[in-house]
Amino acid sequence: MKNILVTGGTGFIGSHTCISLLESGNNITIVDSFMNSNKSVIEGIKKVLKLSNNLDENKIHLYLGDIRNTSFLQDVFLDSKNNKKPIDGVIHFAGLKAVGESMVNPIIYWDVNVNGSISLLKVMEANNCKTILFSSSATVYGDSKNIPFKESALINPFNTYGHTKATVENILKNIYDSNSSGWKIGCLRYFNPIGAHPSGFIGESPNGKPENIFPYICQVASGFRDKLYVFGNDWPTADGTCYRDYIHVVDLAEVHKITLNYLFNKENENLILNVGKGKPSSVLELIKTFERVNNININYEFSDRRVGDIPISYADTAKMFSLLKWKPSRSLEDMCRDGWAWQKNIS
Ligand code: NAD
Ligand code: UD1
């Protein structure tokens, strides 16, 4: 049993990961500003744990605040120590993630994603807490010359969001290389997390118009949006639409728990891992699967390609499989069914 600080723990991936950590008996301390989530997520987490008889309210601690506020973070670490639950390790989800918005408002993206991470790392070091799992993204790879992407592929992001992720990875590498021993660092480069917890109690709630395809499909299915625009049917792929590597968010949550345990058992480490299924699906395949498993029609129309898209993106998952001895088990059907169960709950 460990005491884990989860920044951004009420967000989409963070909330599912909290469940996975709690189901394994860990204590969690969530730090979130609620800038893209809200307190009801905690109720959702508790409902899921109650279902599986794993709810122990004493194991969940919530602090409302901003990771850029170093003295606030210091208080969180201090409180945890005073409560005899000193933070053993951190999973760092908190950040901004909309690619388009990052090109329009770069300063806030650098501030939250990079300054926020530096603030957290300062406080971790001051408290001799040196285990961190960081949410990176496949977007750091940039172009699609070398698919499937291996972790060793060239880092060449072409949007501000991707640059902030690559920068934090670099900062973490510098810390690891600095000879200040004992740092155990993991950067997980997620591909396309979708779906929701099968209970329908937690899931993704994007603010405003979703940029990513899955929440958009869900909103069309629910009637909240009229139609999905499929960005291009003239790509050099079998059905003319782009291929992506979709992974169920519950599988993604599980891999956080497993990787964190892997790090705890190391002396020091700087681990970079792709997290995807390693099996790409086209946009049309995703739509058709959603329609079939949920018995619902998705109104869609082909439109122009989106600037910055690449035709095919998927992970080389060999490193993840061999190091963690773990594979995502949930199918595209599961992702579509569970994501829709959540959407129906909030519609
Ligand atoms: P999310 O927006 O649902 O969750 C992020 C959480 O961080 C939210 O609860 C938000 O309120 C909180 N937050 C934001 N800024 C904060 C701040 N300054 N201080 C404290 N809390 C703050 O996003 P998500 O999809 O769960 O993504 C989690 C992480 O994974 C992000 O860092 C994101 O960049 C990364 N990532 C996500 C995807 C994806 O497709 N969802 C893909 C690759 C990487
Ligand atoms: C996007 C981001 C990437 C980020 C990833 C996961 C861009 C250029 N890239 O990638 O940095 O890491 O999300 O958060 O934004 N699509 C449609 N119609 C839509 C929305 C999307 O056809 O309304 C298509 C896209 O063209 C793409 C596929 O669906 O082919 C998946 O899109 P999306 O969910 O945005 O993910 P990525 O493109 O992989």
User: What digits encode the pLDDT tens for the residues 3-49?
Assistant: 999 999 999 999 999 999 999 999 999 999 999 999 999 999 999 99
pLDDT confidence of 207, banded at 50, 70, 90?
A: confident
Residue 265 has pLDDT above 80, yes or no: yes
Q: Which amino acid is at 203?
A: G
With a 6 Å cutoff on the Cβ, whether 194 touches ligand 2 is no
Q: Which residue, 34, 24, 26, 23, is CA-closest to 9?
A: 34
Identify the residue whose C-alpha is closest to ligand 1 atom 29: 93
Q: How many CB atoms lie within 10 A of CB 220?
A: 21
CA distances from 173 to 39, 59, 255, 305 (A): 34, 32, 21, 36
Whole-number pLDDT of residue 81: 97
In this predicted structure, the answer to whether residue 144 has a pLDDT above a threshold of 80 is no
C-alpha to C-alpha distance for 314 and 275, rounded to whole angstroms: 10
Q: Cα of 5 to ligand 1 centre, how many Å?
A: 15
At 11 the pLDDT is: 97
C-alpha of residue 323 to centroid of ligand 1, in Å: 26
The mean pLDDT of the chain is 96
Q: Which residues are catalytic?
A: 161
Provide the angle, in degrees to the nearest 10, between the axes of the packed helices 283-294 and 332-346: 60
pLDDT in tens, 304-316: 999 888 999 999 9
Nearest to 199 by CA among 62, 45, 76, 67: 45
Mutate to test the pocket of ligand 1, among 93, 96, 191, 218 (most ligand atoms within 8 A of CB): 93
Cβ count within 10 A of residue 60? 18
* Protein residue with least CA distance to atom 35, ligand 2: 212
Mean pLDDT across 144-165: 92
pLDDT at 308: 83
User: How far, in Å, is the centroid of ligand 2 from the Cα of 212?
Assistant: 5
Return the pLDDT at 142.
83
- pLDDT tier at 208, thresholds 50, 70, 90: confident
CB atoms within 10 A of CB 207: 9
Q: Across 114-240, where does the E strand assignment appear?
A: 131-137, 184-190, 192-194, 228-231
| Boundaries of every domain in the chain | 3-196+246-276+314-328
Backbone φ and ψ of 264, nearest 5°: -60, -30
Residue 100: predicted pLDDT: 87
Over 90: is that where the pLDDT of 319 sits?
yes
Mean pLDDT of 264-268: 95
Closest CA to 340 of 192, 218, 215, 251: 218
User: Does residue 181 have a pLDDT over 90?
Assistant: no
Q: pLDDT tens, 101-110?
A: 999 999 999 9
Q: Give residue 283's pLDDT.
A: 98
- 146 has a pLDDT exceeding 90: no
Residue with tokens 């994501």: 339
Give the predicted TM-score (pTM) of the model. 0.97
pLDDT category at 251 given cuts 50, 70, 90 is: very high
CATH code of the domain occupying 3-196+246-276+314-328: 3.40.50.720
Is pLDDT at 289 greater than 80 in this prediction?
A: yes
Dihedral pair phi/psi, residue 135, rounded to 5°:
-80, 100
- Ligand 2, atom 1, lies closest to the CA of 212
What is the predicted pLDDT for the residue at 124? 98
Mean pLDDT calculated for residue range 267-295? 97
CA nearest neighbour of 247 among 166, 161, 313: 313
